Amino acid sequence: QVRAVESGGGLVQPGGSLRLSCAVSGTFIGFGTMGWYRQRPGQQRELVASISGPGSGNLADSVKGRFTISKDDAKNTVYLQMNSLKPEDTAVYYCNRPTTQFAWGQGTRVTVSP
């Protein structure tokens, strides 16, 4: 059974930074693509970043230049470094595969507010 456990969220002021982690079990993240998604209040879940091999991150336009996705295959963990956070980044963040998705985890809540 594949499981993802997201962590690292919290309350941060605009302009601040957070680093999210996603520990995955039951599948090896070194194969295929992993992604970070977010679901903002009242909106559908959206893909904000994805990564395949090292240095192969893709970012949504809304986060480009502010977020960085990375992974540690040895730890089977995916990271999302979020800088220059804006109130519109407020959301619950999840990780999953863009294809062959597994059951969604609980996510980690990020709130950007003064």
Cβ atoms of 6 and 104 within 8 Å: the answer is no
Handedness of CA 108, 20, 14, 58 (dihedral sign): negative
Distance CA 17, CA 77 (A): 19
**Per-residue pLDDT tens listing for the chain (114 residues):** 999 999 999 999 999 999 999 999 999 999 999 999 999 999 999 999 999 987 789 999 999 999 999 999 999 999 999 999 999 999 999 999 998 899 999 999 999 999
Q: CA triplet 73, 61, 108: central angle to 5 degrees?
A: 50
Amino acid residing at 37 = Y
